[in-house]
């Protein structure tokens, strides 16, 4: 599960669809509709929000708006109706780590999409987040390598002793 701090405009088609599906899964987890993923580290930010369901709905709404702007039809009725204006505080280092991670994914699958963002050093954050100074969050499972991608050899091991699936 990846709930991007990045603005959804940076995601290619595959990434945007994945973001939508994973955020819908997160919404189901927060509603208590599924037993899986309840302790997933990506949910910590949402669980710490005063209204987690409103936060994930606000997150989903921005993803759905980006999809609509591109001519995709993501079903808005799947989003919880309650939204929030209260931002989730996130570290600038986390945003930059995710930017490196996304660029590595785009290098592998969507060169044309990556090309349009080549001059972006610091991307915009998703509208739900407010950036503050700080580093990468401790829940981030892998460390970026010098080329900006995720180096599986340097990935932190999961509690079960296995490397995370990248």
The answer to whether position 164 is within a domain reads no
Residue of 80, 62, 83 lying closest to 4 (CA atoms): 62
Residue 153 pLDDT level (bands cut at 50, 70, 90): very low
The answer to whether position 146 is within a domain reads no
Q: What is the Cβ-side half-sphere exposure of residue 20, based on CA atoms within 13 angstroms? A: 24
pLDDT at position 141 is 66
Radius of gyration for the alpha carbons in the chain, expressed in angstroms and rounded: 16
Domains identified in the chain, total number: 1
The answer to whether position 72 is within a domain reads yes
The answer to whether position 3 is within a domain reads no
Q: What is the mean pLDDT of the chain?
A: 88
Residues 71-110: tens digit of each pLDDT: 999 999 999 999 999 999 999 999 999 999 999 999 999 9
Q: What's the whole-model pTM score?
A: 0.83
* % the chain with pLDDT above 90: 78
Residue 161 pLDDT level (bands cut at 50, 70, 90): very low
Residues 107-142: tens digit of each pLDDT: 999 999 999 999 999 999 999 999 999 999 988 865
The answer to whether position 63 is within a domain reads yes
Residue of 17, 43, 9, 8 lying closest to 28 (CA atoms): 43
Residue range(s) defining the domain that contains residue 45? 8-132
The answer to whether position 144 is within a domain reads no
The answer to whether position 141 is within a domain reads no
- Give the pair of three-digit tokens for residue 133: 């100074």
The answer to whether position 21 is within a domain reads yes
Average pLDDT over residues 60-75: 97
């Amino acid at each position: 599960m990846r709930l991007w701090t990045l603005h959804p405009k940076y995601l290619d088609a595959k990434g945007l669809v994945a973001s939508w599906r994973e955020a819908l899964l997160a919404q189901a987890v927060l509603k208590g509709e599924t037993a899986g993923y309840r302790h997933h580290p990506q949910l910590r930010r949402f669980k710490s929000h005063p209204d987690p369901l409103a936060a994930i709905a606000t997150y989903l709404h921005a993803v759905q708006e980006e999809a609509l702007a591109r001519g995709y039809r993501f079903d808005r009725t799947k989003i919880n109706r309650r939204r929030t204006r209260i931002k989730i505080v996130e570290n600038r280092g986390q945003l930059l780590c995710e930017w490196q991670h996304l660029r590595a994914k785009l290098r592998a699958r969507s060169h044309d999409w990556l090309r349009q963002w080549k001059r972006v050093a610091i991307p915009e954050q998703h509208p739900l987040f407010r950036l503050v100074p700080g580093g990468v969050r401790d829940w981030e499972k892998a460390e970026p390598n010098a080329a900006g991608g995720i180096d599986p050899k340097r990935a932190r091991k999961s509690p079960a002793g296995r490397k995370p699936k990248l």
